[in-house]
Amino acid sequence: MWHLAITAILLAGVGRLARAQQPRPDAARCDSIVAAARVDSVPVAIFLAVRRVDGPALPVLQAEDIGDYIRAGFRPPSPFRLTTFAGPARMRVLRPVASDTVPDLRSPMITGVYRFTATKDVMPIKPIVIRASLIPGFDSAAIAAIAEMSKVHEVLMPPAGEDSMRIDVRLSTDSTADGRRMIAARFPRMPVVDAVPKRDNPPPEFPEDEKADSVTSGEVVLRLVVDRTGEPDLATIELVRATSLSFARSAIMALPSQRFDPATIRGCAVAQAIDYSFSFVLPNH
């Protein structure tokens, strides 16, 4: 399945980027500036979705039981620091007019994805972070709640005839068809100048196997966080869509060389989640 292949690419391929040493405004000063930039607030919810990723979908009641135990055991970090803002779609080669100066009202966002393998006999489970939330203490709280849930072994029994199953738990402010509301809150909205890609970002390589199959074009959209230095945080990559796995692999391998003007609030850089699009076109087509 594509999502398993993409995870393997991320874990074995590129690793986390080294952070460039760049001058930036004083962190404490920027924290106060960002906090004071609040315009209003909007109601939000954090949704919990439980999905099997290596076989047939979980029975609805089993997924709900797993989710209920995680919900009961989840202890949000305190203080709850909102560090990443929602953002727009961005293409690698296009830069929006006036994007450097015109702010849009944006709210913080949260997405964390955690994976574990449940078996009939082996306990306890060992959850891992697949997509980091970037909220201090949030991922560890989610991992602890999932581990606590696994003590109720009967809710994790694989289907008859199978020895194991791999499950993803997603906690996100983005609702999904299988997500259930876990936490309700109000998040501030702030005037954010959105992150934009640098003009000279190098293109990804056109996959050789696609050339051999006479394919002349393709598209990949990745969801990721651009951090305060303008670099993509590789722990946050999610595949939105791709023409093929080969194109997805090429786009992911190109990410370490991509750079951005980071999102800012009143001149202070902040992290922002964006949808980042790669278009592949062979010359002379």
Enclosing domain of residue 36? 2-13+23-280
Give the pairing of strands 128-131 and 111-119. antiparallel
Whether 8 is covered by a domain: the verdict is yes
Mean pLDDT of 134-146: 96
Rounded average pLDDT over 70-80: 94
Query: Residue 206: which of 224, 218, 194 has the closest Cα?
Result: 218
Residue 285 lies in a domain: no
Q: Give 18's DSSP letter.
A: P
234 domain residue, yes or no: yes
Q: How confident is the model at residue 151 (pLDDT cuts 50, 70, 90)?
A: confident
DSSP string, 202-222: PPPPPPHHHHHTT--EEEEEE
Residue 2 has pLDDT above 80, yes or no: no
Q: Is residue 231 part of a domain?
A: yes
Q: State CA 15 to chain mean position distance.
A: 15
Please tell me the total count of domains within the chain: 1
How high is the pLDDT of residue 98? 58
How many CB atoms are located within 10 Å of the residue 279 CB?
A: 18
The pLDDT of residue 232 = 97
Supply the DSSP symbol for 112. Answer: E
Q: Is the pLDDT of residue 15 over 50?
A: no
Phi then psi dihedrals of residue 219, to 5 deg: -145, 145
Which residues, in sequence order, are CB contacts of 262 under 8 Å at separation 6+? 195, 226, 227, 228, 229, 230, 269, 270, 271, 272
Q: Is residue 271 part of a domain?
A: yes
Q: Is 9 helix (H, G, I), strand (E, B) or coil?
A: helix
- Does residue 229 form part of some domain? yes
- % of the chain residues with pLDDT over 70: 87
Predicted pLDDT at 18: 36
How many CB atoms lie under 10 A from the CB of residue 218?
A: 22
> Which helix (H) or strand (E) is 170 found in, with range?
strand 164-172
Is 146 part of a structural domain of the chain? yes
pLDDT in tens, 175-205: 988 999 999 999 999 999 999 999 999 999 9
Peptide bond into 56 cis (omega under 30): no
Helix 60-73, helix 138-149: angle, nearest 10 = 120
Cα gap 115→169, rounded to integer Å: 6
- Classify each residue of 34-43 as buried b or exposed e, where b means 16 or more C-beta atoms within 10 Å of its C-beta: beebeeeeee
HSE-up (13 A, CA, CB side) for residue 11:
10
Residue 148 lies in a domain: yes
DSSP element (H, E) containing 68: helix 60-73
